[in-house]
């Protein structure tokens, strides 16, 4: 893909763009269309079409002929889009072409920016994918996991947005949820890139709907707008989540010791009247990543096994939903927080809110549970 993509970049991207820019100053010359026909091509994928247009023109007293439509190599397409071009030049009363003054035998019917130039983005994409795959294979192997000796090595990093300046105080710390803005920006960029790449197909489908005709390979081509609709709906769903009430979790201390108690409080930033049902759960789970298969069929899977769960709230009382608190006791016989390589012990608070006529609230707040003897340290 890298080699083929680089070759295609030169012939299908760089040269057409350079020619298009250079042809802006080519003189306009009247021409005569001598041949304009539609050609069909049948293969295992069905029937596709191209067009063949030949024309003659006179420049500096000499007559020349050409069959170049544009600087982009012609691709096979639906019958309607190709037949429209053939019909346009068959009925053209005063067609013109653009002649290279330095080489009068070179001429083109279509110059400047047009939707066909969108094809020049395909070769760089193929080359980039090939380069990415090669770089991933040449990357150095991951180092072997080392024995973690201090709690700074195995204790997970907790997103804390506010806490007491004095590590000895029991003032509640405020936990910070993961932000969805980077995900939303990435989805918007993906939507724009995908729709630009598929613009030609969208135009052909539009022509099909306007003319009320059926084109070849419709079942395959309609996958493209279906994927575009899926991306758009997903992006819209994530965007709507930005307007949900945002949960705020406060916990009595940054690190909870096994066998000790803690006070967990919740509130929301935003209007909570739209929340019909709220569930808060304290959960401890074991997470293991392992590989299956070998070679090209090798894949990585994640196995999760919850070993402790307690519900802090499960109800639809508006007063409890708006704000509340609950005390919890972490059993002394369970495993504390731990992250090392492919094995993790994760303690978290799960917030699940059913919102009327809107995407539901789903948030996870990771907390730190430490063994007996680990002091409350300021990070």
Q: How far apart are CA 295 and CA 89, in angstroms?
A: 55
Question: Would the pTM count as exceeding 0.85?
Answer: no
pLDDT at residue 99 above 80? yes
Q: Using an 8 Å Cβ cutoff, are 57 and 64 in contact?
A: yes
Co-location of 321 and 303 in the same domain: yes
Co-location of 203 and 102 in the same domain: no
More confident residue, 111 or 211: 111
The total number of structural domains in the chain stands at 3
Co-location of 158 and 73 in the same domain: no
Co-location of 162 and 261 in the same domain: yes
Q: How many CA atoms lie within 13 A of 306 on its CB side?
A: 9
Q: How far apart are CA 61 and CA 368, in angstroms?
A: 86
- What does residue 72 show for φ and ψ, rounded to 5 degrees? -90, 125
223-241 and 181-197 helices, crossing angle to 10°: 160
Would 136 be classed as within a structural domain? no
Which of 241, 258, 274 terminates a domain? The answer is 241
Co-location of 257 and 335 in the same domain: yes
Co-location of 15 and 99 in the same domain: yes
- Mean pLDDT is lowest, of 12-21, 45-54, 62-71, 276-285, for 12-21
pLDDT at residue 346 above 70? yes
What pLDDT shows up at residue 145? Answer: 45
User: Looking up tokens 């003054």, which residue turns up?
Assistant: 101
More confident residue, 298 or 104: 104
Co-location of 165 and 276 in the same domain: yes
What pLDDT shows up at residue 98? Answer: 94
pLDDT at residue 30 above 60? yes
What's the average model confidence in pLDDT over 188-211? 77
Going by pLDDT thresholds of 50, 70 and 90, the confidence category of residue 66 is: very high
- Mean pLDDT is lowest, of 34-38, 114-118, 283-287, 289-293, for 114-118
Domain enclosing residue 41, as ranges: 2-125
Going by pLDDT thresholds of 50, 70 and 90, the confidence category of residue 47 is: confident
Q: How many CA atoms lie within 13 A of 190 on its CB side?
A: 16
Q: How far apart are CA 141 and CA 144, in angstroms?
A: 9
What pLDDT shows up at residue 160? Answer: 64
pLDDT at residue 151 above 70? no
Q: Of all helices (H) and strands (E), which one includes residue 153?
A: helix 151-154
Q: How far apart are CA 354 and CA 365, in angstroms?
A: 18
pLDDT at residue 111 above 60? yes
More confident residue, 294 or 329: 329
What pLDDT shows up at residue 379? Answer: 39
Instruction: Write down the mean pLDDT value for the chain.
Output: 81
Co-location of 169 and 286 in the same domain: yes
Q: How far apart are CA 365 and CA 179, in angstroms?
A: 12
Nearest to 115 by CA among 204, 14, 233: 204
- What does residue 358 show for φ and ψ, rounded to 5 degrees? -160, 160
Co-location of 74 and 101 in the same domain: yes
Would 259 be classed as within a structural domain? yes
What's the average model confidence in pLDDT over 37-56? 87
Going by pLDDT thresholds of 50, 70 and 90, the confidence category of residue 19 is: confident
Co-location of 166 and 287 in the same domain: yes
Co-location of 98 and 211 in the same domain: no
């Amino acid at each position: 893909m890298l080699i083929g993509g680089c070759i295609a970049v030169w012939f299908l991207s760089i040269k057409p763009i350079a020619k298009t820019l250079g042809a802006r100053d080519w003189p306009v010359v009247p021409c005569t269309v001598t041949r304009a026909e539609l050609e069909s091509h049948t293969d295992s994928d069905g029937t596709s079409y191209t067009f063949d247009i030949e024309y003659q023109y006179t420049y500096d007293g000499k007559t020349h002929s050409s069959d170049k439509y544009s600087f982009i190599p012609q691709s096979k397409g639906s019958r309607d889009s190709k037949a429209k071009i053939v019909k346009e030049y068959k009925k053209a009363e005063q067609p013109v072409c653009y002649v290279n003054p330095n080489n009068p035998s070179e001429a083109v019917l279509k110059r400047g920016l047009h939707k066909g130039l969108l094809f020049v983005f395909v070769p760089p994409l193929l080359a980039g994918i090939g380069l990415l795959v090669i770089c991933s294979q040449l990357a150095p192997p991951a180092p072997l996991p080392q024995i973690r000796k201090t709690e700074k090595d195995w204790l997970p990093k907790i997103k804390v947005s506010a806490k007491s300046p004095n590590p000895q105080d029991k003032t509640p710390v405020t936990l910070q949820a993961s932000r969805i803005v980077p995900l939303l920006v990435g989805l918007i960029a993906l939507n724009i890139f995908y729709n630009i790449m598929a613009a030609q197909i969208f135009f052909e489908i539009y022509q099909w709907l306007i003319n009320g005709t059926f084109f070849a390979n419709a079942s395959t081509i309609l996958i493209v707008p279906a994927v575009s609709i899926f991306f758009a709906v997903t992006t819209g769903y994530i965007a709507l989540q930005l307007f949900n009430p945002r949960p705020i979790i406060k916990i009595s201390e940054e690190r909870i010791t096994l066998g000790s108690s803690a006070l967990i409080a919740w509130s929301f930033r935003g209007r909570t009247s739209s929340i019909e049902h709220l569930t808060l759960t304290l959960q401890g789970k074991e997470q293991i990543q392992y590989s299956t298969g070998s070679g090209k069929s090798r894949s990585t899977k994640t196995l999760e096994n919850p070993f402790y769960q307690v519900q802090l709230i499960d109800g639809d009382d508006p007063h409890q939903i708006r704000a509340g608190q609950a005390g919890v006791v972490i059993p002394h016989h369970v495993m504390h927080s731990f992250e090392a390589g492919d094995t993790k012990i994760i303690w978290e608070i799960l917030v699940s809110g059913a919102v009327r006529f809107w995407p539901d609230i789903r948030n996870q707040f990771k907390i730190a549970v430490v063994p007996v003897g680990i002091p409350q340290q300021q990070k």
